[in-house]
Amino acid sequence: MAGREDAKKLGLADYEYDEIVKTLGREPNHLELGMYSVMWSEHCSYKNSKPVLKRFPTSGPRVLQGPGENAGIVDIGDNLAVVMKIESHNHPSAVEPYQGAATGVGGIIRDIFTMGARPVALLDSLRFGNPDEPRVKYLFGGVVSGIADYGNCMGIPTVGGEVYFDDSYRDNPLVNAMCVGIIRCDRIVRGKAAGVGNSVMLVGSATGRDGMHGASFASEELSEDSVAKRPSVQVGDPFTEKLLLEACLELLQNDWVVGVQDLGAAGLTSASCETAARAESGIELDVSLVPRREENMNPYEVMISESQERMLVIVEKGHEEDVRKIFEKWDLNAVKIGTVTADGMLRILENGTVVAEVPAKSLADGAPSIKRESRKPFYMEDIDIDLSSIEIPEDLNNVLLKLLSSPNIASKAWVYQQYDYTVRTDTVVPPGSDAAVLRIKGTKKGIALTTDCNGYYCFLDPYEGGKQAVAEAARNLVVSGAKPLAITDCLNFGNPEKPEVYYQFEKCVDGMAEAASFLGTPVISGNVSFYNETKDNAIYPTPVVGMVGLLEDVEKRCTMEFKKEGDVVVLLGDNTDELGGSVYLKEIIGLRGGRPPRLNLDVEKKVQDCCLKAIELGLIRSAHDVTEGGLSVALAESCIAGNIGFSGEIETEIRPDALLFGEGQSRIIMSLPEENLSLFQQLAKELDVNITVLGFVKSGNFKLEVKMKGQNVGKVDIPVDKLALSWGNAIKWKVEN
């Protein structure tokens, strides 16, 4: 038997141990306690976040599967649906960047094909410290290669994502991987172990001692000892996963498959108790039947190993040989290890002798949830900045060039060109635009995909930051011509036991929930990653929003680059005098703080509706969202992407640096043929959106004058190739020097 002290060593609290004893009516043995410790870890149980996550809207007319399964599913018509999920692999990547990131990708891909969907796209949302530091370069390079090698080998294009750099992520980088699949609505498979007497089979790789206690490792702060936990990091084998993918999709064509569940965190323990719990059944399995790649593994090791590329498959009794044949074709194991039972117990045998017996439901869902204390962080009282004390720089050209070469704004081509983004020949808008667009062969449709989050805004104001992350993701889809449909989120925070961190978490969720409800984009799947901190330094609160949108006609997609000389350039939405939280304040002036830009959801929705309508009507030729770096950076990006200039002027009452570099929300830049302008103005008026003509697409320089009462108060005027050089090479120079 295992006692309270053993429980502590495994990371279980006293009250959790008591709960286990109460449930079992006796003390657990070592194996049982080990299984509880992984399943009741924060990573698997969501015990710290569950009550707060209930605040998200999770249903809607298109939602076929909300949170609680391997992935969420949203209907896109024509009997097709999009399956998607995002997940973190932060801690493994902090100690072993290559394998940590690679297995993060492998895990999220399995979540998608487990449901019967063909994975069609990957996105990666990454956060690192200052790329000038050698260790950060090592982490950054390792993570990017890990993602590349796994995703490329799988033949799933990596089409989007984000890369941000800030000191707050120095020792605890964030690696969030998102996978998107397409499925026929009538072929959705769920992770259920239903039907007493049905067979439980383990397929894919053999089991070894890798990734022991990975789920627990993910549920504690990183420390100097963390490097010693490198054995907790799993090792990926994308080739086997590719075989597993093809074998599973072949398997899932058959109606006698009852349920499938991938083996991720907490391995066989998690897969068996979760499938049983979902079906309100039990499972009896014998660990001696599990194919191994190491000798003398005991039941404990077999049950919590996180060896990759494995699946649990539940099939109707009598079809075991059919399963074996399919997997044999792909040179993979498929072994019956157990049976579905009626008694609700997860019973583990070794050579026929019972070695553990616990209620599956208590293991899967029984972790006592915790309502943590929440307190507004002190720093938030003191973030206001007096703009009048900031002198406006004289050389605004220099400011713009510096902003464009800031790693947070500069081109991410160095990263995404290491990812195969053209395989499957569906990528019709490649990485580098606001959102990626994929066609769906055999239909007229397309889907647009993005991930977004400004962690710095979330730090300065968690509620506004949460709202903004959702709104910006939706805006990125809208400028591509897609109607936003649904969200998958990856909520990365520090230690939830600290009231200030919990406050950030709660407020971010509230902001996201409000925006998601308002914009009609329910949260259909996601992941929470706490304990992202080292030596008392928590990361910026970083609730990453992955979003999918639908284009009924993919030919109507829109891109960001200016396309034709003479086109009118128009701003949709209003300029503001906000500079708080901007890259300009932080990196040019050297001031951290200010209130991040406010977001009015009503205005946001109108701007998005107007943009979408204009694209549908074919009025405009380009659209680009205004974000980090503000209006001037957005205009410059449209010039660089189109390799053409712009000339314009703005009459304003806003100070020129705020106008050019402020990050006021709900703004979109468009270019359109002049003959469409009056129709567009009419549309904007009908939809109650303000528009301003900024100038014209013009070959040569990017030129913008700011005027107050007719007087020139600021000006940028730079050749586009010079902009392109600053923007295009900044990350490469930093990383390779």
- Annotated catalytic sites, by residue? 43, 89
Q: Give, as one character, the DSSP assignment of residue 289.
A: G
Q: How many residues does the chain have?
A: 737
Q: Give, as one character, the DSSP assignment of residue 207.
A: B
**Phi and psi, residue 573, nearest 5°:** 100, -175
Q: Which of 419, 502, 530, 584 binds another protein (CB under 8 A)?
A: 419
**Minimal distance in Å, beta carbon 146 to another protein?**
12
Rounded to whole angstroms, what are the CA distances from 699 to 411, 562, 623?
Answer: 22, 10, 19
Structure tokens at 737: 């020097």
**Minimal distance in Å, beta carbon 330 to another protein?**
7
Under the binding rule (CB under 8 A), the answer on residue 420 touching another protein is yes
CB-based contact 86:552 (threshold 8 Å): no
| 8-27 binders of another protein (CB under 8 A) | none
Under the binding rule (CB under 8 A), the answer on residue 734 touching another protein is no
Under the binding rule (CB under 8 A), the answer on residue 416 touching another protein is yes
Under the binding rule (CB under 8 A), the answer on residue 288 touching another protein is no
**Minimal distance in Å, beta carbon 608 to another protein?**
25
Under the binding rule (CB under 8 A), the answer on residue 152 touching another protein is yes
**Minimal distance in Å, beta carbon 620 to another protein?**
19
Segment lying near another protein (by CB under 8 A), choices 12-20, 237-245, 369-377, 459-467: 237-245
Under the binding rule (CB under 8 A), the answer on residue 253 touching another protein is no
**Minimal distance in Å, beta carbon 733 to another protein?**
14
Segment lying near another protein (by CB under 8 A), choices 166-174, 304-312, 418-426, 478-486: 418-426
CB-based contact 586:408 (threshold 8 Å): no
Segment lying near another protein (by CB under 8 A), choices 1-9, 98-106, 145-153, 389-397: 145-153
CB-based contact 397:657 (threshold 8 Å): no
| 537-576 binders of another protein (CB under 8 A) | 554-555
Q: Which residues pair with 693 in a beta bridge?
A: 570
72, with CB counted inside 10 A (0-12, 13-18, 19+), is buried
**Minimal distance in Å, beta carbon 213 to another protein?**
28
Under the binding rule (CB under 8 A), the answer on residue 718 touching another protein is no
Q: Which of 128, 140, 165, 330 binds another protein (CB under 8 A)?
A: 330
Q: Which of 441, 535, 564, 685 binds another protein (CB under 8 A)?
A: 441
Structure tokens at 24: 């079992």
Q: Which of 19, 87, 124, 149 binds another protein (CB under 8 A)?
A: 149
Under the binding rule (CB under 8 A), the answer on residue 651 touching another protein is no
Of 521, 514, 685, nearest in space to 601 by CA:
514
CB-based contact 591:648 (threshold 8 Å): no
Q: Which of 76, 105, 117, 148 binds another protein (CB under 8 A)?
A: 148
Under the binding rule (CB under 8 A), the answer on residue 643 touching another protein is no
- Which residues, at least 6 apart from 331, have a Cβ–Cβ distance to it below 8 Å? 243
Under the binding rule (CB under 8 A), the answer on residue 482 touching another protein is no
Under the binding rule (CB under 8 A), the answer on residue 428 touching another protein is yes
Size, binding site for another protein by CB under 8 A: 33
Of 412, 473, 420, nearest in space to 121 by CA:
420
Helix 267-278 vs helix 30-39: angle between axes, to the nearest 10 degrees?
Answer: 70
Q: Which of 85, 137, 336, 424 binds another protein (CB under 8 A)?
A: 424
Closest to another protein by CB, 153 vs 731, is 153
- Which residues, at least 6 apart from 525, have a Cβ–Cβ distance to it below 8 Å? 65, 66, 67, 69, 71, 72, 84, 85, 86, 488
User: Quick one: residue 267, left, alpha or beta (phi over 0 = left, psi -120 to 50 = alpha)?
Assistant: left
C-alpha to C-alpha distance for 702 and 641, rounded to whole angstroms: 12
Parallel, antiparallel or unpaired: strands 446-452 and 542-551: antiparallel
Segment lying near another protein (by CB under 8 A), choices 26-34, 186-194, 412-420, 476-484: 412-420
Residues that bind another protein in the complex, under the rule CB under 8 A: 145, 148-149, 152-155, 237-240, 242-243, 329-331, 413, 416-425, 427-428, 439, 441, 554-555
